[in-house]
């Protein structure tokens, strides 16, 4: 059933859902006693870079290949090379072709059962064989797929899975993608009559304080040799697993058929889901045949109501809310594209502490694990499928224009397969994610010139119709640059919600477009595009579009030593609008539903050219170290008292030079002290409502900001002039790990002087040595110009900081990490690994990240 979006924007709400997905903590992620098993298939693979002939055959000898566990990204293993065909878009990292093979035996007690293999993501062109039989190939690297192994299995002996991954055609994307089986793999065993793959759709047609109506549509698939009459029950469980309400119904499913069963329950006094209170339930679907339980399928459920109002913005559960969002690519910094659930959770928690409540999955489907965590932690998600359709952008006479030919944004990008695969990929994306309460809209494109510039509207109509048929409960959108052209072509009128990317000055058209199109829901889908390099500063502003450039901080550049490929942390580097000016627009215009800044984290690729290898737009660097702009958003998006001072206060040779000192705070006023002498108190004014500023003649010592709220000192921040590097300081964010359970410990490497003060410009080479039941997964420093290996056992600090990422192996005991640097005393830190019984069985323990990759 579809509906008229234009009529429902004001009069009705899009009632949002729940979803399927589970973190691979145990070997079997299904509940105890379930006849359905979904077992981690990550462990025990063999890998070879290259394209050996006959590798799909069972008789092929892979004993000389590299043993590893999944997920795995071979590109992150490097090395960086200016001549790598991935180029600036791929961060100058290698790509190519690789093979994976694994042998296994059929699980016990699975006779007459269906056995399937499920890949969550292979980048890209993943081609799969079982016992020499080709199952198929999936070109799109960002969506999972399932193959039925049942007809080809040897149930008495050994079976072999072979996977060929071809990411050789480069550049294949505008950003770093990684290469390999980079997400989880599962082996699934079910009855022949079962809930189909991604086979439930859970919606909430009506919600009140008294009760919520929950509608569950289950697709049942029967591969028995005859029809079956079964009883299907639905139960809603609370967070403790207690059944609150249930309903059951008998249904007959013919041989070889699929049938959809539609059932409804009434849940009394529902707890509503929101970013501040992400209350979750679980829908348990059970199939009984002749009284025997034959299948159990679990789907999380979040109950909430979202209204997209063109005049008031987003209304969640009856309350207005501003989307305080970021766009993020999928790589995990030094870990590359390989999926570590623990690393994703770290990133989301950092954003939550900043006050972020929304994520845009730019510009492709994310992992299911990310969405599950967004459900649990409380994030609104703009779920994006495509970066491009058939055309990209081109430069003519120095201007960015739509390509007149069907040339994509990347030479070997998705545009080459769009006509053949777009319907399948969008369908699978919606079916996979339509039950996640975090997902609030589907984005079917990002800056698509054939429609925005050339008025090719049939594709959008087709994608919109497909979205509405698959999921009538959510609106669809596209992120648009050059919004004036999109308005003129009629493109924007075909969207349910209109996303404004900053390109072409779109971020300056909110007010004009609201007057022209009063029934349009507007949100900033990709604004602002500000740049910043951690610990680097310039007092002369640098914008890609000079007409929008903010004023210079000083008449002459104070920091000539800043490398030209580094960006300023004063919020005066970017494309066309600063973080402060963008947020000022968003928070003061009630009809703008929110903004998604580009980006939350620095990301590999889209570097702008050698020697830079990453996109420097993040407000958190590649190694999870916050930049100054992180604290700007924290000052605007949170209530707990905070104050942050910038820049650092170690400026040798600049005695007496007046340096701009900035302060971000959410308090009433701040008083600044230099060596205990007051430099005055500043309060926010209508003109200056985003930061406080002093011009301070440089003098060695201690600079301290004291923040006051309601007449009381509630927060302080200080920076101290540092001496020469005298020691390496190590600190861990997780001092205890469970053996073999994919937990990570992030160890911050910090250079300090003899008094323990942070040395903000230290570039110190640090050697690492690890002992005990663990291993070094990756190292990094966040430097956009660094070409050091992420896989090494040495790293040079960038502006005083570096990172080492550790994980446990199977044994219990203590991991000791020692850090040494020339002329400095060796330091060490200990991480305890606790025994976890059989928790690690079948779970990835190496993620393919070895210290000695081929």
Residues 419-452 as b or e (16 or more Cβ within 10 Å = b): eebbeebbbbbbbbbbbbbbbbbbbbbbbbbbbb
Residue matched to tokens 């889908």: 525
Judge contact between 734 and 830, C-beta under 8 A.
no
Residues with Cβ within 8 Å of 677's Cβ and at least 6 positions away in sequence, in order, are none
CA Rg value for the chain:
27
User: Which segments within 437-557 are labelled E, that is strand?
Assistant: 439-446, 476-480, 497-501, 522-526, 542-543
Q: Which of 254, 234, 231 is nearest to 245 (CA)?
A: 234
Q: How far apart are CA 100 and CA 185, in angstroms?
A: 12
Q: Which of 401, 441, 454, 623 is nearest to 523 (CA)?
A: 441
Q: In angstroms, what CA-CA distances link 824 with 231, 731, 750?
A: 71, 17, 13
Residue of 56, 345, 369, 447 marked catalytic = 447
Q: Which of 510, 582, 504, 508 is nearest to 545 (CA)?
A: 504
Judge contact between 766 and 796, C-beta under 8 A.
yes
Judge contact between 221 and 196, C-beta under 8 A.
yes
**Is residue 405 flagged as an active site residue?**
no
- CA dihedral (585, 501, 637, 279) positive or negative: positive
Q: In angstroms, what CA-CA distances link 583 with 12, 477, 578?
A: 28, 21, 9
Residue 77 is given by DSSP the state G
Give the pairing type, strands 592-598 and 281-289: unpaired
Q: How far apart are CA 438 and CA 407, in angstroms?
A: 34
Q: In angstroms, what CA-CA distances link 542 with 219, 572, 648?
A: 55, 6, 21
- CA dihedral (460, 466, 468, 471) positive or negative: negative
Q: Which of 361, 373, 358 is nearest to 314 (CA)?
A: 358
Q: How far apart are CA 672 and CA 692, in angstroms?
A: 10
The DSSP annotation for 80-130 comes to --TT-TTTTTTTT---EEEEEEEEEEPPTT-TT-EEEEEES--BS-EEEEE
Judge contact between 371 and 359, C-beta under 8 A.
no
The DSSP annotation for 158-178 comes to EEEEEEEEEE-SSS-SSS---
**Is residue 526 flagged as an active site residue?**
yes
Residue of 526, 536, 567, 752 marked catalytic = 526
Q: Which of 618, 544, 628, 649 is nearest to 784 (CA)?
A: 618
The residues assigned a catalytic role are 447, 526
């Amino acid at each position: 059933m579809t509906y008229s979006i234009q009529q429902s924007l004001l009069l009705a709400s899009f009632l949002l859902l729940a979803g399927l997905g589970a973190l691979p903590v145990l070997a079997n992620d299904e509940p105890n006693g379930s006849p359905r098993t979904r077992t981690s298939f990550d462990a025990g693979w063999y890998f070879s870079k290259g394209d050996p002939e006959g590798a799909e055959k069972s008789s092929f000898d892979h004993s000389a290949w590299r043993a590893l566990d999944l997920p795995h990204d071979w590109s992150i293993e490097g090395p960086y090379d200016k001549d790598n065909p991935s180029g600036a878009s791929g961060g100058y990292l290698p790509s190519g072709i690789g093979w994976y093979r694994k042998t296994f035996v059929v699980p016990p007690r699975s006779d007459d059962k269906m056995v399937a293999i499920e890949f969550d993501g292979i980048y890209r062109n993943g081609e799969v064989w079982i016992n020499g039989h080709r199952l198929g190939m999936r070109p799109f690297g960002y969506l999972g797929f399932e193959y039925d192994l049942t007809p080809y299995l040897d149930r008495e002996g050994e079976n072999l899975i072979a996977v060929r991954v071809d990411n050789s055609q480069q550049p294949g994307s505008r950003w770093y993608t990684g290469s390999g089986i980079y997400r989880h793999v599962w082996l699934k065993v079910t009855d022949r009559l079962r809930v189909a793959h991604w086979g439930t759709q859970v919606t909430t047609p009506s919600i009140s304080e008294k009760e919520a109506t929950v509608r569950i549509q289950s697709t049942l698939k029967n591969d028995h040799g005859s029809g079956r009459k079964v009883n299907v029950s639905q139960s809603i469980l609370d967070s403790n697993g207690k059944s609150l309400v249930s309903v059951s119904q008998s249904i007959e499913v013919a041989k070889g058929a699929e049938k959809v069963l539609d059932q409804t329950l009434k849940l009394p006094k529902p707890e509503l889901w929101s970013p501040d209170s992400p209350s979750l339930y679980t829908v348990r679907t059970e199939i009984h045949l002749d009284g025997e339980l034959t299948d159990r399928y679990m789907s999380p459920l979040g109950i909430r109501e979202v209204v997209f109002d063109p005049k008031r913005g987003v209304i969640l559960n009856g309350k207005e809310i501003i989307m305080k969002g970021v766009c993020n690519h999928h790589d995990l910094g030094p870990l590359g594209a390989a999926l570590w659930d623990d690393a994703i959770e770290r990133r989301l928690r950092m954003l939550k502490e900043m006050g972020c409540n929304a994520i845009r999955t730019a510009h492709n489907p994310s992992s299911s694990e990310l969405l599950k965590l967004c459900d649990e932690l409380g994030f609104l998600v703009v779920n994006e499928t495509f970066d491009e359709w058939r055309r990209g952008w081109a430069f003519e006479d120095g201007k960015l224009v739509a390509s007149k030919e069907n040339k994509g944004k990347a030479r070997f990008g998705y545009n080459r397969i769009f006509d053949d695969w777009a319907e399948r990929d969008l369908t699978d994306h919606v079916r996979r994610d339509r039950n996640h309460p975090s997902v609030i809209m589907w984005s079917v494109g990002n800056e698509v010139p054939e429609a925005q510039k050339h008025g090719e509207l049939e594709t959008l109509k087709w994608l919109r119709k497909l979205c509405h048929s698959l999921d009538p409960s959510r609106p669809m959108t596209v992120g648009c640059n050059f919004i004036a052209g999109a308005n003129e072509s009629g493109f924007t009128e075909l969207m349910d919600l209109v996303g404004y990317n900053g390109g072409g000055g779109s971020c300056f058209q909110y007010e004009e477009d609201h007057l022209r199109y009063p029934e349009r829901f507007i949100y900033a889908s990709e604004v602002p595009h500000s740049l910043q390099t951690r610990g680097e500063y310039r007092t002369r502003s640098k914008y890609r579009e000079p007409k929008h450039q903010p004023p210079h901080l000083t008449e002459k550049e104070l920091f000539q030593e800043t490398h030209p490929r580094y960006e300023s942390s004063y919020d005066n580097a970017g494309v066309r609008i600063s973080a402060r000016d963008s947020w000022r627009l968003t928070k003061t215009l009630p009809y703008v539903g929110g903004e998604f800044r580009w980006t939350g984290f620095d990301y590999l690729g889209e570097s702008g050219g050698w020697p830079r290898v990453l996109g420097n737009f993040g407000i958190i660097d590649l190694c999870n170290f916050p930049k100054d702009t992180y604290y700007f958003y924290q000052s605007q998006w949170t209530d707990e008292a905070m104050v942050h001072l910038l820049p650092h206060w170690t400026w040798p040779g600049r005695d007496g030079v007046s340096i701009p000192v900035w302060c971000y705070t959410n308090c009433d006023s701040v008083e600044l002290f230099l060596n205990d002498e007051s430099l005055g108190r500043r309060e926010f004014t209508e003109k200056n409502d985003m930061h406080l500023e002093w011009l301070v003649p440089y003098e060695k010592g201690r600079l301290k900001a004291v923040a006051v709220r309601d007449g009381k000192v509630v927060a302080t921040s200080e920076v101290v002039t540092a001496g020469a590097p005298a020691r390496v300081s190590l600190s861990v964010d997780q001092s205890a790990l469970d053996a073999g359970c994919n937990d990570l410990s992030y160890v911050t490497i910090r250079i300090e002087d003899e008094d323990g003060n942070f040395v903000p410009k230290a570039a110190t080479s640090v050697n690492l040595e690890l002992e005990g039941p663990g291993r070094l997964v990756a190292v990094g420093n966040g430097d956009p110009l660094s070409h050091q290996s992420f896989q090494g056992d040495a790293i040079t600090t960038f502006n005083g900081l570096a990172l080492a990422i550790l994980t446990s192996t199977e044994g219990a005991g203590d991991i000791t990490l020692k850090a040494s640097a020339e002329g400095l005393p060796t330091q060490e830190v200990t991480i305890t690994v606790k025994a976890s019984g059989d928790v690690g069985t079948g779970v990835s323990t190496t993620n393919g990240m070895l210290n000695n990759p081929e």
